[in-house]
Structure 1
Amino acid sequence: MDIRKINTLNRIKEGFITVLDTKKLSECTTNDIVDSAEISKKTFYNYYQNKQDLLREIENDLLEGLKEALVIDREKLKGIKHLPGADEIKGLAEVAFNHTLAFCNENKHALSNLLSSNGDMQFYQMIVELANAEFDVRVPYLFGDINIKEANVKSPLPFSFIKTLYINTIVNLLMLWGATPDSLSINEIKSIAGLVQTKSPVELIQIYKSYLN
């Protein structure tokens, strides 16, 4: 692709995302986007039919990038020849989310705005669906084969509830990181990701309080 075209497309996309710094998606207009990107309307319509067309491309690119990063990170789990304990799972966050967090960091502005209250709730649902699918693939590596039907009969705690808590914790962590981009490094997020996967809220508060002593 021509470098000038790439630069123009990037300007349009970044211009759109920048508008979401201050405006809700529903209020964002084509005029807002072209003003932010410092391009003409003619240039915009050379590439996109409307705002929704641009939004779909941005979101699809982000989802594909996340999928690719998750697949690469998942390879680290395939080398495990035993079921890891909680401490090992915590440590695995250093490698099991390495490319995924790097991708999120590289695209933090777009992800944080699209997942914010100014963004697209449908995109949030797509991220959750992606996380659900990835969770299902990773469960055997981390926890072994689980007979969910049998376990749900015997356990008062439905597996779907556990899964939702697990996934929402990770997704919300990424959203909070995006909302405060300069507060935490990638390595700190990896460490927190390991903790929230293996510690209860009570334990996390105790860890937090330990730094005050």
Structure 2
Amino acid sequence: MSDIRVQNTKNNLITALLSCLEDKSVHELKVKDIIDKAGVSTRTFYQYYSDVNDLLRDIEDSFMAEYLKNVEKDRDSLGDLDLDVPFEDQLETILNATKNTIEFCYAHKKEIQLLLSDNGDTRFYNMIFHTGCEKIMKRMSQMKHIDELKMDEKDQMRMMISVQVFVYSIIGMVRVLLEYSDRLAPYDVRQSILTFLRESPIASMNINKK
């Protein structure tokens, strides 16, 4: 079988699983549900995947690989974030440095909505959450003048908690924005994100700045 046919078959199975999540929890899904939706045989399914979880892992791992590529593109542009400039200017820099990630999320809107839904997979949520925390902490450590902040151990702990709460909120915000994306103009989305960023860990860093 050609590579194109193999990929088309896999894409068909991926689409079928995601479609099944509209009606069933991932924990309730059976191989039969997926092959019936995909219109393929049981033999075809097992030619590529050992079970439902194997297919689910393929979907999630492929998503995360592409997601991280876009996050890294944005991360490079955050190296110029300067805590000495006005806070609103900092927010503009941060917002502009999320362009690729936001576009990626919108391009994969349905996939994200289903995987983060009540029918979705906790593992996927945890992957997004822990990756988000890790990337934000890494970005913050590379900011200009970060060493000038006078933060003791308790301050650092508060910052870590702030980042985790922030990432948790980001996931919720993304779900809401994707839900209303068809009715929101780009300007409205931008303003919503800016409002949200005003409560970000960057705000705490500005408070701690001496």
Partner amino acid for 1:62? Answer: F
Whether contact under 8 Å (1:19, 1:32) holds in the other structure is yes
Distance 1:147 1:116 in 2: 41
The percent identity for this pair of structures is 25
Question: Over the residues paired in the alignment, what is the CA RMSD in angstroms?
Answer: 2.5
Asked whether the 8 Å contact 2:137–2:163 carries over to 1, the reply is no
1:90 Cα deviation after fit: 2.7
Gapped runs of 5+ residues in structure 2? 201-210
Within 5 Å, give how 1:76-155 maps onto structure 2: 76-80=77-81, 83-140=84-141, 141=143, 144-145=146-147, 146=149, 148=151, 150=152, 152=154
Q: Which residue in the other structure is 2:206 paired with?
A: none
Paired positions, count: 197
Residue identity opposite 2:62 in structure 1: D
Q: CA deviation at 1:199?
A: 4.5
Q: Structure 2 vs 1, CA of residues 70 and 187 (structure 1 numbering), >3 Å: closer, same or farther?
A: farther
Determine the C-alpha separation between the residues in 1 that align with 2:158 and 2:82: 28
Q: Where does residue 183 of structure 2 map in the other structure?
A: 183
Distance 2:145 2:170 in 1: 17
Which sections of structure 1, spanning at least 5 residues, go unmatched?
A: 201-213
Q: Give the structure-2-normalised TM-score.
A: 0.82
- The verdict on how the C-alpha distance between 1:187 and 1:113 changes in structure 2, with shifts beyond 3 A counting, is farther
Closer, same or farther: CA 53–186 of 1 in aligned 2, 3 Å: farther
- Per-residue CA deviations over 1:31-77 (Å, capped at 9, x if unaligned) read 11112222222211111111010011111111111111110011111
Partner of 1:31: 32
Name the residue aligned to 1:169: 169
Checking the alignment, whether the CA contact within 8 Å between 1:12 and 1:37 is kept in structure 2 is yes
CA distance in 2, matches of 1:58, 1:137: 26
Distance in 1 (CA, whole Å) between partners of 2:82 and 2:190 is: 23
Contact residue 66 and residue 100 of structure 1 kept, 8 A? yes
- Aligned equivalents of 1:126, 1:20: Cα separation in 2: 19
Which residue identity lines up with residue 177 of structure 1 in the other structure? L
Tell me if structure 2 keeps the 8 A contact 1:112–1:175: yes
Q: Which amino acid aligns with 2:146?
A: G
Q: Is the 8 A contact 1:93 1:194 kept in 2?
A: no
Q: Which moved more, 1:132-141 or 1:189-198?
A: 189-198
Q: C-alpha deviations, 1:125-150, integer Å up to 9, x for none?
A: 111000001111121327824565x1
The residue that corresponds to 2:208 in the other structure is none
- 2:138 maps to a residue whose letter is V
Deviation at 1:186, TM superposition (A): 5.5
| Structure 1 residue 93, shift from structure 2 partner | 4.2
